[in-house]
Copies of this chain bind each other. A is one copy, B any other.
Amino acid sequence: MSEHIYETDFIVEFGDCDPAGIVFYVNYFKWIDSTFNRWLRDNGLGQDLVAARWNAVGIGVIEAKASFLAPMRPGDNLVMSITGIDWLDKTLRINYHGSSSEKPVVKGFEVRGLFKANSDNILGLIPMDEVRNMLSHENHYDR
């Protein structure tokens, strides 16, 4: 009955944990980013293809936030889900939820946009309508 848009999982490695013996929180953002990029690739749209197709730098992150709900330890399994996507004018907000053994451990979001460099190599946002169309085709979610 999950209505998650995407789901993938990770193993908490020994090296992901800090002297407190629990996950060093920065790694949750690595897993959040990896979830986004796995979803992108599973939709046939890796960052390299995004860059090539729109002559862009990629779908970069403008803002990211996470709340840590319970500690995780080496060997734990993390199930990360994309629970919702809000398409704004030139940005995209992706909501994430992570659980381990059915228990919530992290939730957060990223705001992303399609970045392109101008002639001065300054990055700016360009419209994402085509990206949105490619990521919204029902037939991509045949899982």
- The residues of A with any CB-CB pair to B shorter than 8 Å are 11, 13-15, 17-22, 24-26, 29-30, 33-34, 37-38, 41, 46-48, 51, 57-58, 60-68, 70-71, 73-75, 115, 123
Contact = CB atoms under 8 A, between A and B. Distances in A.
Contacts of A115: 20
A131 to B, nearest CB: 16
Contacts of A20: 19, 47, 51, 57-58, 60, 115
Contacts of A25: 29, 33, 60-61, 64
A70 B13 CA distance: 23
Nearest to A69: B62
Contacts of A71: 60, 123
Contact of A14 (B34, B64, B74): B34
A68 B17 CA distance: 20
